[in-house]
Amino acid sequence: MAELDTSSGGGHKKGPGVKKGKKLSTRVDLTPMVDLGFLLVTFFVFTTTMAQSTAMNMNEPKDDKEKEKKVKNSGAMTILLGKSDQVYYYYGQLEAATISDQFKSTDFKNIRNLIVEKKKSTPLDDLMYIIKSDDSSTFKNAINILDEMTISGVKAGHYAEVVMTPTEKELIKKTEEANGIK
């Protein structure tokens, strides 16, 4: 504990030949403070609650052909993830005659605007985003596109991740070669 020496060795005499009393400094014993610190740390460790982990809801395609959700051509937007953070998209179903007009390229900066535009222009019951990842795309890109869906307010059940077709893989490959993406 704190100690203080108050003995001055006599009365309060002033003048010549009178010795001044020694002034001793105070000494503070901090041992109880260490105990208090450990008690506080223990208290806060036992009383805190850890953050609960959250998971994103996502509907995956069904293996049963009878239970598959039918999507209208007018309400579908297919998003393809390529390498080097490239994003490709088309609306509806690819037609061989108009494939060059349908198949378009963008990046993650502009995909949110496209998602929101499609959401505004399509009735909610018909809306469906189909997400497909190329073998050369990264896991980060897949997470980013799911985040874009959440940020854009697209409800679970209106997007699904599906395996890419060989035609789509070939389109991505040719587009990346034409644009010099390695």
Instruction: Judge whether residue 87 has pLDDT over 70.
Output: yes
Answer whether 134's CB lies under 8 Å from 80's CB.
Answer: yes
Give the tens place of pLDDT for each residue, 123-168: 888 888 889 988 888 889 888 988 988 888 888 888 888 888 888 8
- pLDDT score recorded for residue 15: 65
- pLDDT score recorded for residue 7: 53
Options 3.40.630.30, 3.30.420.270, 3.40.50.80, 3.90.550.10; CATH for 65-179 is 3.30.420.270
Residue ranges per structural domain of the chain: 65-179
Q: Which amino acid is at 98?
A: T
Alpha-helical (H) ranges within the chain are 31-47, 99-102, 111-121, 139-151, 166-179
- pLDDT score recorded for residue 57: 63
- pLDDT score recorded for residue 39: 94
- pLDDT score recorded for residue 44: 92
- pLDDT score recorded for residue 163: 87
d(CA 140, CA 87) in angstroms, rounded, equals 13
Q: Residue 74 has what DSSP assignment?
A: G
- Plot region of 65 (φ>0 → left; ψ -120 to 50 → alpha; else → beta): alpha
pTM of the model: 0.63
Q: Which residue has the tokens 């077709």?
A: 165
d(CA 81, CA 133) in angstroms, rounded, equals 5
Which 3 state secondary structure label does DSSP give 98? coil
Give the tens place of pLDDT for each residue, 3-45: 555 555 555 566 677 777 777 778 888 888 999 999 999 999 9
Answer whether 64's CB lies under 8 Å from 45's CB.
Answer: no
Instruction: Judge whether residue 1 has pLDDT over 70.
Output: no
Give the tens place of pLDDT for each residue, 40-62: 999 999 998 887 777 766 655 56
Tell me the two tokens of residue 128: 């469906």
